[in-house]
């Protein structure tokens, strides 16, 4: 009998970029695949794969209690209609709301993928940090059911959950990241001219964009031969959102370039020689760094959970402290002035992905998790 796998994800764009390969593998393994998400520009791409697409009310970010209760009830209805054998919840809010709904709807198996612990569990939580205690209590309670399995992407998050009593040790699984297609993302020679350091990311404060801008300002003052490119778009649903006006002001100042939202990411790495991700925390294993590494680009990132899961300092990239523009500028200058170092670190970055982070390996491990959960 065909089993149904339902993905719950807040945005259809995230599903396409981070879980499409897994869904294809599940389909090929015999699952009927349902995607419950907020529908944006990617509905056709999802439906072309033969997946059933179900619109939901759930959105990222903090909402008022009335709309959040309505979203949970909406999910209960979805689960009762679709009758999934296993649900796969992606990211913190879908995990909490989806698990409540799945337990009410008596879904047999629940996989909660914490793709990084997000703003609430980072040192940059600020005013949002007051929610950490109630969210931790909710996760502890919801994960206690023998039907619930917890999936994390890095060893730091695994330790955090165990210290907080979230998830049974026998039902908590570590799978390092979302994987990357190493046939699509391949090593490429550097473009000629001044090296470009690109940051491919949502343009929000938590990702460290202001820190990169300040580092770029320092590099310009030093006269370092390097260009800094931001690749992505603002995310108004994020509490640390940046405005388009701020980004355009930095461009007008002449310290960064803004390449906008791009879907041709292999071409981005054909144009850029260095990958930079100065995250302030809350990461799983950043997909953008995996893709850059697969293209044999050296990685410059911060010594925070998720980022340090991928990068070994001096081996496949350079690690710097978070929220430290001076150290970030120093690392970027070091790579900008040393093409042989870029080549060596990039070669090792590609080897890291081939050994630990291919999309086929991630899909295989996740399908095995479904079998165990069922």
Q: pLDDT tens-digit profile of 335-350?
A: 999 999 999 999 999 9
Q: Are 257 and 312 members of one domain?
A: yes
- The answer on 332 and 315 residing in a single domain is yes
The pTM assigned to this predicted structure is: 0.92
Helix (H) or strand (E) holding 70: helix 65-82
pLDDT at 132: 82
Residues 295 and 307 in one domain: yes
Round the CA-based radius of gyration of the chain to a whole number and report it.
Answer: 20
Same domain, 174 and 207: no
Q: Is the pLDDT at 141 greater than 60, yes or no?
A: yes
Q: Are residues 209 and 350 in the same domain?
A: yes
Classify residue 189: in a domain, yes or no.
no
- Whether residues 220 and 308 share a domain: the answer is yes
The verdict on residue 191 lying in a domain is no
pLDDT band at 353 (very low <50, low <70, confident <90, very high): very high
**Which band of pLDDT confidence, cut at 50, 70 and 90, is reported for residue 119?**
low
Asked if 316 and 369 sit in the same domain, the reply is: no
The answer to whether position 350 is within a domain reads yes
Q: How many CA atoms lie within 13 A of 367 on its CB side?
A: 19
* Residue 243 exposure: Cα atoms within 13 Å on the Cβ side: 3
Give the pLDDT band (50/70/90) at residue 224: very high
Q: Is 81 helix (H, G, I), strand (E, B) or coil?
A: helix
CATH code of the domain covering residue 233: 3.40.50.2000
Residue 116 banded pLDDT, cuts 50, 70, 90: confident
Examine the pLDDT at 129 and tell me if it is beyond 60: yes
| pLDDT score for 67 | 84
Q: Does 34 lie in the same domain as 164?
A: yes
Residue-range definition of the domain harbouring residue 70: 4-179+358-373
Sign of the CA dihedral with 318 first, then 200, 37, and 60 last: positive
Query: Which pLDDT belongs to residue 123?
Result: 64
On whether residue 351 sits in a domain, the answer given is: yes
For residues 133 and 139, what is the distance between their CA atoms, to the nearest angstrom?
10
% of the chain with per-residue pLDDT over 90: 86
67 vs 89, residue with greater confidence:
89
Of residues 236 and 60, more confidently modeled: 236
| Whether residue 17 is found in the same domain as residue 166 | yes
Is pLDDT at 172 greater than 80 in this prediction? yes
Report d(CA 321, CA 316) in Å as an integer: 17
Using the Cα atoms of residue 7, residue 9, residue 13 and residue 19 in order, give the sign of their dihedral. negative
- 324 Cα distance to chain centroid: 22
H-state helical runs in 254-324: 265-271, 287-294, 307-310
Same domain? For 137 and 281 the reply is no
| 271-290: average pLDDT | 96
Q: C-alpha angle with apex 232: 352 to 25, nearest 5 degrees?
A: 50
Instruction: Give dist(CA 304, CA 313) in Å, integer.
Output: 12
In a domain, 317, yes or no: yes
Total domains present in the chain: 2
**Residue in 154, 56, 65 with CA at minimum distance from that of residue 98:** 56
Would you say residue 13 lies in a domain? yes
Residue 184 lies in a domain: no
């Amino acid at each position: 009998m065909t089993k149904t796998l339902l993905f719950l994800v807040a945005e259809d764009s995230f599903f396409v970029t981070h879980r499409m390969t897994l869904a294809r593998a599940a389909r090929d393994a015999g699952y009927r695949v349902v995607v419950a998400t907020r529908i944006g520009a990617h509905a056709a791409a999802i439906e072309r794969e033969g997946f059933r697409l179900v619109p939901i009310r759930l959105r990222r970010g903090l909402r008022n209690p009335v709309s959040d209760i309505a979203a949970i009830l909406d999910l209960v209805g979805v689960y009762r209609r679709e009758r999934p054998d296993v649900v796969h919840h992606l990211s913190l809010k879908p995990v909490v709301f989806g698990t409540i709904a799945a337990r009410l709807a008596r879904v047999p198996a629940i996989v909660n993928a914490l793709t990084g612990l997000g703003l609430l569990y980072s040192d940059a939580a600020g005013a949002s940090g007051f929610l950490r205690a109630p969210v931790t209590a909710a996760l502890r309670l919801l994960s206690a059911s023998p039907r619930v399995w917890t999936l994390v992407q890095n060893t730091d998050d695994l330790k955090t959950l165990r210290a907080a009593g979230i998830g049974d040790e026998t039902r908590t699984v570590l799978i390092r990241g979302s994987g990357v297609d190493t046939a699509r993302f391949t090593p490429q020679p550097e473009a000629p001219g001044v090296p470009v350091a690109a940051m491919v990311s949502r343009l929000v404060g938590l990702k460290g964009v202001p820190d990169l801008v300040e580092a770029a300002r320092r590099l310009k003052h030093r006269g370092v031969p390097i260009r800094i490119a931001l690749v992505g778009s603002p995310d108004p649903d994020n509490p640390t959102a940046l405005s388009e006006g701020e980004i355009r002001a930095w461009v007008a100042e002449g310290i960064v370039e803004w390449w906008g939202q791009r879907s041709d990411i292999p071409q981005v790495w054909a144009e850029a020689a260095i990958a930079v991700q100065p995250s302030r925390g809350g990461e799983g294993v950043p997909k953008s760094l995996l893709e850059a590494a697969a293209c044999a680009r050296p990685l410059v990132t911060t010594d925070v959970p998720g980022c340090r899961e991928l990068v070994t300092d001096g081996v496949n990239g350079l690690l710097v402290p978070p929220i430290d523009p001076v150290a970030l500028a120093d690392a970027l200058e070091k790579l900008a002035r040393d093409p042989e170092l870029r080549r060596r670190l990039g070669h090792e970055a590609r080897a890291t992905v081939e050994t630990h982070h291919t999309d086929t390996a991630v899909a295989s491990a996740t399908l095995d998790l479904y079998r165990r959960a069922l």
